[in-house]
Structure 1
Amino acid sequence: MAKAFIRRYLPSPEQIREMKGLGFLRNRLSDPSLWHLNRRSASWAMFWGLFCAFLPIPFQMVPATAIAILFRINLPLIILLVWLTNPLTLLPFMYSGYWFGSYILDVPMLSWHQLEHLATRAMHMSDAPVDAFEPGLLQQLKPFFLGSLLLGLILGTIGYIGMRYFWRWHVIRAWHKRLAERLARKQPNASSSDPKD
């Protein structure tokens, strides 16, 4: 079934409870609906997990977990999808977000070197006083923020629709398989009715 197929790739409840940064939400993780997997919870987890993966903020697991608790949807699937953005995939995600935002706003795209420099400046925004910001930093970040949010919405919607169709396909396939097995059991054994040579 679809449930068993998806569960194979999900983190365990113990792994999630031990994650750093989720300590203040740990007492809310006992809700059984966060661990239940059905078509509704899996579809919404796809939407919110992909959306949160594209959020241009650090510690995306915190809002993802809060959303799972608020809407009572499958937490392991949301967490798995948020892990799509990690140190290895961060630059391609940033590039695609910036590219999409610059296309929407009709502003010139930055080079890889400029994007890397912009990412470094953005990561140190909290360390520097407000008057020490380089001029135009927030203006340069606007395409990145807009593109990331829009890509998260678009890919989240595709993930939601895709999961609903995947779940339905899996259920229909399992039903046809059971039906074929039932029909095969009902048919008499052809070899026993053949006359012996």
Structure 2
Amino acid sequence: MPRRFLQRYMPNPETLRRQRSLRFLGHVIGDPGLWALSRRTVANAFSVGLFSAMLPIPFQMAVAAFGAWLLRCNLPLSVGLVWITNPLTMPLVFYGNYRLGAWLMETPAREAPTRISTRWIAERMADILPALALGSVVSAVLLAVLANAVVRLLWRWRVSRSWKRRALKRRRRRLERDT
């Protein structure tokens, strides 16, 4: 079942609550609803986490945590999925978002220099920002909706498959017992 797989990698809420840097969030971290693993909470956590990951803003993890609290979905998954846009993947993802935004705005996209620097970004920010913002929001919404649907379908398929296997085992046991 997907729940057992996810529980193996989940941090312990009690351990997190005892950490000095997170004490001020103790009442939030200790909320059992934010640690539940159900089809709804996991699918919504994927939506919140991937939506937050696509936004070119600082404090993406805080946005994901607030979204998890707001939607009552799984907090660790929401926050962990933000790391899809880590320092290695961030330039590629945000450049792709920029290209998507430029395409949607029907403006020519600037080619990336051979070496991207903060100076280059600062000089081009006024030109880049509208397309980057539009592309990021569009990709965030599309990815969130797609992730939610895929997680729900996969979860349902796994549960259905598990039920069928258990029914088959029960039939086999009955046949062995009757013979």
Shift in alpha-carbon separation, 1:31–1:115, aligned structure 2, 3 A: farther
Q: Residues of 2 paired with 1:168 and 1:40: CA distance?
A: 11
Q: Which amino acid aligns with 1:147?
A: G
- Indicate conservation of the 8 Å contact 2:48/2:64, yes or no: yes
Q: Identify the residue that residue 54 of structure 2 maps to in structure 1.
A: 54
Q: Which has the larger radius of gyration?
A: 1
After the TM superposition, which residues 82-121 of structure 1 pair with which residues of structure 2 at under 5 Å, given as runs?
82-113=82-113, 116-117=116-117, 120=119
- Indicate conservation of the 8 Å contact 1:101/1:144, yes or no: yes
Q: Identify the residue that residue 146 of structure 2 maps to in structure 1.
A: 158
Q: Residues of 2 paired with 1:18 and 1:110: CA distance?
A: 45
Q: Identify the residue that residue 3 of structure 2 maps to in structure 1.
A: 3
Q: Identify the residue that residue 125 of structure 2 maps to in structure 1.
A: 137
Q: Residues of 2 paired with 1:19 and 1:149: CA distance?
A: 35
> What SS does structure 2 have at the residue aligned with 1:36?
coil
Q: What displacement does 1:139 show?
A: 3.4
Q: Which amino acid aligns with 2:147?
A: G
- Indicate conservation of the 8 Å contact 1:48/1:67, yes or no: yes
Per-residue Cα deviation, 1:153-174 (whole angstroms, up to 9, x for no partner): 0011000000110110011011
Q: Are 1:73 and 2:73 matched, yes or no?
A: yes
Q: Residues of 2 paired with 1:55 and 1:23: CA distance?
A: 28
> What SS does structure 2 have at the residue aligned with 1:112?
coil
Q: Residues of 2 paired with 1:140 and 1:102: CA distance?
A: 9
- Indicate conservation of the 8 Å contact 2:51/2:141, yes or no: yes
Q: Are 1:27 and 2:43 matched, yes or no?
A: no
TM-score (norm 2): 0.86
Q: Which amino acid aligns with 1:81?
A: L
Q: Identify the residue that residue 137 of structure 2 maps to in structure 1.
A: 149
Shift in alpha-carbon separation, 1:16–1:164, aligned structure 2, 3 A: farther
Q: Residues of 2 paired with 1:60 and 1:145: CA distance?
A: 15
Q: Which amino acid aligns with 2:140?
A: G
> What SS does structure 2 have at the residue aligned with 1:113?
coil
Q: Are 1:170 and 2:158 matched, yes or no?
A: yes
TM-score (norm 1): 0.79
Shift in alpha-carbon separation, 1:120–1:24, aligned structure 2, 3 A: farther
Q: Residues of 1 paired with 2:41 and 2:18: CA distance?
A: 19
Q: Residues of 1 paired with 2:78 and 2:90: CA distance?
A: 18
Q: Which amino acid aligns with 1:85?
A: T
Number of residue-to-residue matches in the alignment: 178
Shift in alpha-carbon separation, 1:46–1:115, aligned structure 2, 3 A: farther
What's the C-alpha RMSD, in Å, of the aligned pairs? 2.6
Mark the runs of 5 or more structure 1 residues left unpaired by the alignment.
Answer: 125-133
Mark the runs of 5 or more structure 2 residues left unpaired by the alignment.
Answer: none
